[in-house]
Amino acid sequence: MSLDQLEAFLKKMQSEPALKSEVVNATTADDVARIALKLGFEFSGDELLRMSGRKFGGVTVRKTDLPGEYN
């Protein structure tokens, strides 16, 4: 994955409230990756999860554990 792709997507997300809402309401990292891909940004859900805890600009990538989720 290119960190540039992720950073550019997060920057776009910050400037577009509707996109931010869509990402926040996504259920999985793969869902977020599919949203990004529709906009021309390429990274996988697994790659996004590996960035958990890292800060890009004003956005911190965080993995959310859901009840009933297996680790």
Query: Does 65 fall in a domain?
Result: no
Query: Does 71 fall in a domain?
Result: no
Asked whether the beta carbons of 54 and 61 are under 8 A apart, the reply is yes
Output the CA–CA distances (angstroms, integers) from residue 26 to 2, 67, in the order listed: 22, 15
Query: Does 10 fall in a domain?
Result: yes
Tell me how many domains the chain contains.
Answer: 1
Domain holding 51, by residue range, is: 3-60
63 pLDDT above the threshold of 90: no
DSSP string, the chain: --HHHHHHHHHHHHH-HHHHHHHHT-SSHHHHHHHHHHTT----HHHHHHTTT-EETTEE----PPTT---
* pLDDT tens column, 27-51: 889 999 999 999 999 999 999 988 8
- pLDDT-based confidence at residue 53 (cuts at 50, 70, 90): confident
